[in-house]
Amino acid sequence: MNTAPSLPFTVDRTVIIRATPAIVFSFFTDTPRWAKWWGDGSSIDARPGGRVVIRYPTGDEAFGEVLEIEAPERIVFSYGYARGTPIAPGASRVTIRLEPVSMGTRLTLAHAVDSATVRDEHVQGWRFQLGLFANAVSDVVHRDVATAVDEWFRVWAEPDAAIREASLRSLLAPAFVFGDQFSMIAAIDELLPHIAASQRFMPGIRLQRIGQVRRCRDTVLVDWTAANAEGQPRGSGTNIFELDEHNRITAVTGFWNAQSTTGANS
């Protein structure tokens, strides 16, 4: 970024968001999505000269205007506080660039300000704000994660091999991995015979999610139980799921509770 002489200091921050650039950029152009990570009442008119309004949950307000926009790669807007300190309205400049990467989108932020003191005051603020941003994006990308998790458990009891394979290839990322105390699976093609063996040696075992899906951005924590064909409990545990930018499962790690009594995998 070519920083103007009056704004010689920058807060620089780079994060990876597991979403496509188009979805990530929509949080800079769509007012409801903009407000999701700033606060109710925040808005943006995503065109050069358009007004930027930020209303923090604390009651503080900031204003600016869109200076440049190149969807879905770059947006530049001015920024400052209604109260006039530590930045007057429009007296700093925020540049955000998006770049597609293998895991989703690399977001690079540079907030140009007029002093080192102001810069240092905003370092933690941007760490916090981009954490909220990543969660807001993840809420959109992974809104159907409970359905995906339930399908993962259901497919372990699917008797039709062709249906089982089609479901898994839709559900899982190509570079999928799975592991628990009984297995280390490095690909979907290894998982398919593993599930078939599980059905052969432990017929009738069914897995089911217990309670709500707990998610932090792209990581999901789920409790589960295993029961035999008669409905008798045979084990329980917790799974950690990792998700990609298309809401596909990239990895599952299974943990068995100490009282579990069967070797059914999950």
CA atoms within 13 A on the CB side of 17: 32
CA distance 79 to 26: 19
Q: In what order do the strands lie in the sheet with 61-70?
A: 9-17, 104-113, 92-101, 74-81, 61-70, 51-55, 43-44
In single-letter form, the type of residue at position 1 comes to M
Structure confidence at residue 266 (pLDDT): 54
Place of tokens 């592991």: 179
d(CA 216, CA 236): 22
**The pTM of the whole model exceeds 0.85:** yes
Query: How many CB atoms sit inside 10 A of residue 244's CB?
Result: 22
Q: Domain limits of the chain?
A: 9-141, 145-256
Three-state SS at 105: strand
Task: Tell me what pLDDT residue 204 has.
Answer: 92
What CA–CA distance (Å, rounded) separates 167 from 152?
9
- Report pLDDT digits (tens) over 145-155: 999 999 999 99
pLDDT value of residue 2:
42
Q: Say what the pLDDT of residue 258 is.
A: 79
**Cβ neighbours around 38 below 10 Å, total:** 23
pLDDT at 231: 85
Q: Which residues of 46-81 are buried (b: 16+ CB within 10 A; e: fewer)?
A: beeebebbbbbeeeebbbbbbbebeebebbbbbbbb
Strand, helix or coil for residue 32 = helix
SS3 264: coil
Per the DSSP assignment, residues forming a β-bridge with 110 are: 12, 95
Which CATH architecture fits 145-256?
Answer: Roll (3.10)
Q: Which residues of the chain have pLDDT under 70?
A: 1-5, 259-266
Homologous superfamily assigned to 9-141? START domain (3.30.530.20)
| SS3 state at 265 | coil
Task: Look at the block and give the residue holding tokens 């400049």.
Answer: 93
pLDDT score for 259: 67
Give the span between the Cα atoms of 55 and 35, in whole angstroms: 8
Contact, 49 vs 66, CB < 8 A?
A: yes
Inter-residue contact 16 to 106 (CB < 8 Å):
yes
Query: Any idea which residue has 């990530």 for tokens?
Result: 24
